[in-house]
Amino acid sequence: MKKLIPLLSLCFIGLTASAQTKEIAEKDFLAAINKLVAAVKMQHWAYEDPFTIDSAFSISGDSLTATFKYKTDSNYYRVRYAAPMSALKGVFQDVYQILSFKGKSVHVYEQIGNGAWILVERRSMFHLGMIDDEDKKLVELKYEVEGAVEDLLEYYEK
């Protein structure tokens, strides 16, 4: 019995250290994507109106979510993205920096004014923002996101 207790203690310490490391990776990931989105002028090509971050990126359970508020001349609308972290594949850039997910696991909801939230699309991409390669700050933030995604994938890849 005396030999079993130290062995169980080591197992518990290993699980705790792993959970803390995943928490740190998630925290770094969220900080990186929130900084990038706060710095870009355009988050997604389909939404050209000026935007603010209504609800910053967060992870709850297995779900990554964020909500953006766009203002038109006469009204406003919100767009909410939700995707399972377990479906995260990576990050890439075309004109936009984009988180890539398995299948059509990214759900896009819209709300006009104070109306009901409506599911408008399911897709595999979660746009973070347009990257101007001439903007040194955005390029640095882009690389920070890429590193954070790489670190985080260790805990979500199967």
In b/e form, how buried is each residue of 40-64, taking b as 16+ CB within 10 angstroms?
A: bebbbeeeeeebeeeeebeeeeeeb
Calpha distance 117→108 (Å, rounded) = 10
CB 62 within 8 A of CB 84: yes
- CB count within 10 Å of CB 65 equals 16
Residue closest to 128 by CA, chosen among 25, 27, 38: 38
What does pTM read for this prediction?
0.81
- Vertex 131: Cα angle to 103 and 92 (nearest 5): 30
Calpha distance 100→102 (Å, rounded) = 7
Q: What is the pLDDT along the chain (158 residues), one digit of tens a residue?
A: 555 455 444 454 444 444 568 999 999 999 999 999 999 887 777 776 678 899 999 999 999 999 999 888 888 889 999 999 999 999 998 888 999 999 999 999 999 988 999 999 999 999 898 888 888 999 999 999 999 999 999 987 65
Residue closest to 129 by CA, chosen among 55, 27, 64, 32: 32
Torsion sign over Cα 137, 138, 141, 143 = negative
Residue 123, strand partner residues: 106
| Predicted local confidence at residue 8, as pLDDT | 47
